[in-house]
Structure 1
């Protein structure tokens, strides 16, 4: 009996979820103003689409204590606070906490080893009471892409990807995060910006 050749792999270059847990860094010529100079932690990436949290668009008009008050939660000493960010243009009223995986609850999504995403109020209660994860950032809304959309943007060089570590994920100065992520790649943005965005 003749041996049949095994079928070729369907997608040998980009396996499912291949960028989950990475940072997307907007190129200087990013045409969408909502994502200009943005740094996004990609939380999920598959053939069905992608979802991420913008890390460097701080919410200046809302504090963690304000948010707790809106949810009817009172900080319990020793209260902790975490940074708030505008996580993206989709579902801007919904909260997500991107955090170290030393604290998780049912429904937490593992982004990569050591990093999780939780959308339940339980994590806010834990943080307000002085517990919860060691590091975290609270995002309102998220960035989303349909099937193949992010892959297309990557092929058009709209984004660079950078390995995510805690120094970048939970940076104390989000206004400097874009340059810090570029520097991690050994890129001087000013060397790119002169040629980016020109037809």
Structure 2
């Protein structure tokens, strides 16, 4: 798993590639990919982990790919960590175009979905973050308010008004090796704050880092 927080690589190219909608949509929402990416759950926690919390890049962040980023921690334990950047918007895309790229053309579908650049690891794989009112067998429950689903069926449900009340699609993710995130926090590269559903799904992505910074802590 590629670890973030290290200089190098071309994060900008990953973000630009997300705009090739027809290309990336064909790779969206693969359950096997999601579960392979998640760290293997530890049998018993040994410390306070950050699953469900927000990770906020501090002003001293040295990696330009993660300047002023806010990351929703999907999973964190002694085997590693995985999170989704939630304040790197690519834009809103017509839901009908996403479904068409998946071979499910439906002229009656209306509306748009929000697309984010979720991180530099596997930037052509999509994940849907959504409110916890929606659940499928492959849904990852992050906490009682936010979940993540990695099946194409969720797009069909959103299109047919059977999906979650709130959702966004992120391509790519951020990952850490065991103990790496703890070290980066100790060096002052990240702050943390409890997850807030309003922040995760806020329409205003531009000010999200500022709002999260006002709530920050630094203790792990």
Q: TM-score range by the shorter chain?
A: 0.7 to 0.9
Query: Aligned to 2:56, what secondary structure does the other structure show?
Result: strand
1:115 pairs, out of 132, 142, 146, with 146
Q: Residue 123 of structure 2 contacts residue 172 of structure 2 at CA under 8 Å; is this kept in 1?
A: yes
The structure 1 residue matched to 2:184, chosen from 153, 158, 165, is: 153
Deviations 1:55-105 (A, max 9, x none): 011114x72433333222345756443311000001111110111111111
In 2, are the aligned partners of 1:76 and 1:129 still within 8 Å (CA)?
Answer: no
Q: 1:34-183, aligned counterparts within 5 Å?
A: 34-60=65-91, 63-65=93-95, 66-74=97-105, 77=108, 79-183=110-214
Question: Number of aligned pairs?
Answer: 173
Whole-angstrom CA distance in 2 between matches of 1:44 and 1:126: 25
**Structure 2 SS opposite 1:112:** coil
TM-score, normalised with respect to structure 2? 0.72
Offset, 1:115: 1.6
Structure 1 runs of 4+ off > 6 angstroms? none
Shift of 1:109: 0.6
Q: Distance in 1 between matches of 2:106 and 2:198?
A: 27
Partner of 2:215: 184
Decide which structure has the larger Cα Rg and report it: 1
TM-score (ref. length: structure 1): 0.80
Q: Pairwise CA RMSD of aligned residues? A: 2.1
Q: Deviations over 1:142-198 (max 9, x none)?
A: 111111111111111111111111110101011110011112349xxxxxxxxxxxx
SS of match in other structure, 1:153: helix
2:63 to 32, 48, 65: 32
For the residue of structure 2 that corresponds to 1:59, the secondary structure is strand
Residues 56 and 216, structure 2, Cα contact 8 Å, conserved in 1:
no
Does the C-alpha gap of structure 1 residues 78 and 49 become closer, same or farther in structure 2, counting only changes over 3 Å?
same
